[in-house]
Amino acid sequence: MLVDRYGRVIRHLRISVTSKCNLKCIYCHMEGELPSDDEMSVEEIARICKAFYDLGVEKVKITGGEPLLRRDIVDIVQNLPPFREISIVTNGTLLSKLSHDLKEAGLNRVNVSLDTLNETKYKLITGKNMLKNVIEGIYAACDAELFPIKLNMVVLRGINDDEVEDLLEFASKFNKDGINVILQLIEVVNMPDYYVDLSELESKFSKIAEKVIVRGLHSRRQYIFKNKAVEFVRPFHGEFCMHCTRIRVTSDGKIKPCLLRNDNLISLRGLSYDETIEAIKKAVALREPFFKNA
Ligand code: SAM
């Protein structure tokens, strides 16, 4: 098992497979990585993931850039070790074509970024007219039962902060026979002009919730009421870092112990399996909470 100096057990791996994207979101933090053309191969991704798996990591999330732009994304998924959960975070624009093949390859679930249901705002946020493709992608993911699907909504002041109820209503349409689609509300990082503190909204949902699930990762709360489910991701919340059980790998094969730092990366390129294990242990020893007691 991997445990850092602060007693945080590493259970989640977030691995980027490309830094390329077909959208240009105004707020994008690119998972904290610099653009790179030096993408890992299917074999490298498999070796790195196997090492994390053997060290006790339970869940992997594939991200990017836009991971579905990789032509070999189905192979990538197929070659992963049998994690308890394999998921992808995607902008959804290419999901309608790929959902079923990904499910067959072993994908368990998806997060789809959906900040708005309004075409004009979608173009304003992402630079593209692709809302229709995303909605089709969500329907295809439902058809392939990539559940639970989380709809990632980054709440932006003056742009989409009036749409939370609409998005919640949209998500609940898929929840007739249980919670299949969860709305995930995310506080924007590094964009003070758009920042919305979600504490008030979270407190409102906590009062009407019939059930509250506190997740191990970041101590995130999920509130369930009727056929609706909403989860909060608040990186500036004090518990976020102290309960961070996640480690990242960039698309060019470097371990990134913290989303918010770039000065302690460790390369896994060209290493044997044993060397990969040693490098991962070294990276875990470097981990420390970015906000220690915010
Ligand atoms: N292209 C994929 C997508 O759109 O989901 C995967 C990469 S994207 C960087 C992963 C997630 O990070 C998305 O849900 C996105 O909304 C979120 N994200 C990006 N920049 C952010 C920021 N500045 N603050 C909070 N979340 C952000």
Domains and CATH numbers, the chain: 12-149+237-286 (3.20.20.70)
Q: CA distances (Å), 181 to each of 135, 151, 188, 222, in order?
A: 13, 7, 21, 12
> Does 81 score more than 60 pLDDT?
yes
By C-alpha distance, which of 259, 261, 262 is closest to 233?
259
Give every CB contact of residue 24 below 8 A, 6+ residues apart in sequence. Answer: 126, 127, 128
**Burial environment of residue 193 by CB neighbours within 10 A (0 to 12, 13 to 18, 19 or more):** exposed
Pocket of ligand 1, beta carbon within 6 A: 21, 27-31, 63-64, 66, 89-91, 113, 152, 154, 186, 188-191
d(CA 252, CA 36): 7
Between the CA of 98 and the centroid of ligand 1 the distance, in Å, is: 20
Between the CA of 189 and the centroid of ligand 1 the distance, in Å, is: 10
Between the CA of 66 and the centroid of ligand 1 the distance, in Å, is: 10
* pLDDT tens per residue, range 95-137: 999 999 999 999 999 999 999 999 999 999 999 999 999 999 9
Average pLDDT over residues 63-71: 98
From 18, 150, 154, give the residue whose CB has the most ligand 1 atoms within 8 Å, as the site to mutate: 154
From 20, 88, 152, give the residue whose CB has the most ligand 1 atoms within 8 Å, as the site to mutate: 152
* pLDDT tens per residue, range 209-236: 999 998 877 778 999 999 999 999 987 7
Residue 100 pLDDT: 98
Atom of ligand 1 nearest to the CA of 153: 16
Atom of ligand 1 nearest to the CA of 28: 20
d(CA 293, CA 167): 32
pLDDT band of residue 36 (cuts 50, 70, 90) is: confident
Average pLDDT over residues 268-281: 96
> Does 184 score more than 70 pLDDT?
yes
d(CA 294, CA 290): 9
By C-alpha distance, which of 46, 41, 75 is closest to 60?
46
Supply the residue whose CA is at minimum distance from atom 5 of ligand 1: 90
Supply the residue whose CA is at minimum distance from atom 12 of ligand 1: 31
> Does 91 score more than 90 pLDDT?
yes
Atom of ligand 1 nearest to the CA of 187: 25
Atom of ligand 1 nearest to the CA of 31: 9
Residue 294 pLDDT: 47
Between the CA of 272 and the centroid of ligand 1 the distance, in Å, is: 32
Helices (H), the chain: 42-54, 73-78, 95-105, 119-126, 131-143, 164-172, 199-208, 238-242, 273-286
